[in-house]
Amino acid sequence: MKAATIAYLIAYNVVQWLGWLALAVLISLHLYQHGGDCRGLVDEVALPMLILHSTTILEFVHAILGISKSGPVPAIMQFSGRSFALFVALAISEVRHEVSVTVFMSAWVALECIRYPFYVASLVGSPLYALTWTRYTAFIPLYPLGYGAEVVAFFAAMGKVWESGQLSFDLLGNTINFYYVLCVYTVVSCFGFFQNYTYMFSQRKKALRKRKTT
């Protein structure tokens, strides 16, 4: 890999790492100052969360261009899934104050605060075994925690949009209640979660076995 490409990837991952760390601080401070009350939290972190999340589409581009080891399919699946969850949380005002939204955002933040320093360490040398182990172990509880919270938020949203008709749209002359979109997406996302989760287990096995033999 060319030195310029490595320098770019290091810079990208460092910026992402610092951004997600800052977001972790914002979330922690809000919860501490409000005694664990998550009301108003999404309003505080929505903009930085959207900015950081939006830039992660570059990881799909990196995979397509072959300048990262990540696969394009897992990258775009994660980006799409988080995009939909953020859209639901931000577009439906009654949902953004749900505890489940705080939970899935916190799970994302925790994962990224581990993932990006691992990538930086991998680019500049060989990451410590402890960092490798954490990178490929933290997802085991955090993935289902985050996804489960997303599903809870979707169910909360279903009740709101069914009653209000919010986010309904016209398709071929028919009005489609967004409730049905949520239902279909929730079912389909189960398969996406299973694929990503099992993919990470296969990556974990490879990464930890490689470290044990080096």
pLDDT-derived band at 69 (thresholds 50, 70, 90) equals: confident
pLDDT score at 165:
84
Q: What are the structure tokens assigned to 74, written together?
A: 């897992």
pTM for this model (two decimals): 0.92
Beta-carbon count within 10 A of 185 CB: 17
Dihedral sign for Cα 70, 74, 75, 78, please.
Answer: negative
Distance, CA of 117 to CA of 115 (rounded, Å): 6
| Mean pLDDT within 33-37 | 89
Q: At 176, is the secondary structure helix, strand, or coil? A: strand
Checking if the pLDDT of 124 tops 70, the result is yes
* DSSP class of 94: T
Checking if the pLDDT of 213 tops 60, the result is no
Distance, CA of 103 to CA of 100 (rounded, Å): 5
Q: Active-site residues: which are they?
A: 143, 150
Contacts of 98 by beta carbon, 8 Å cutoff, 6+ apart: 152, 153, 156
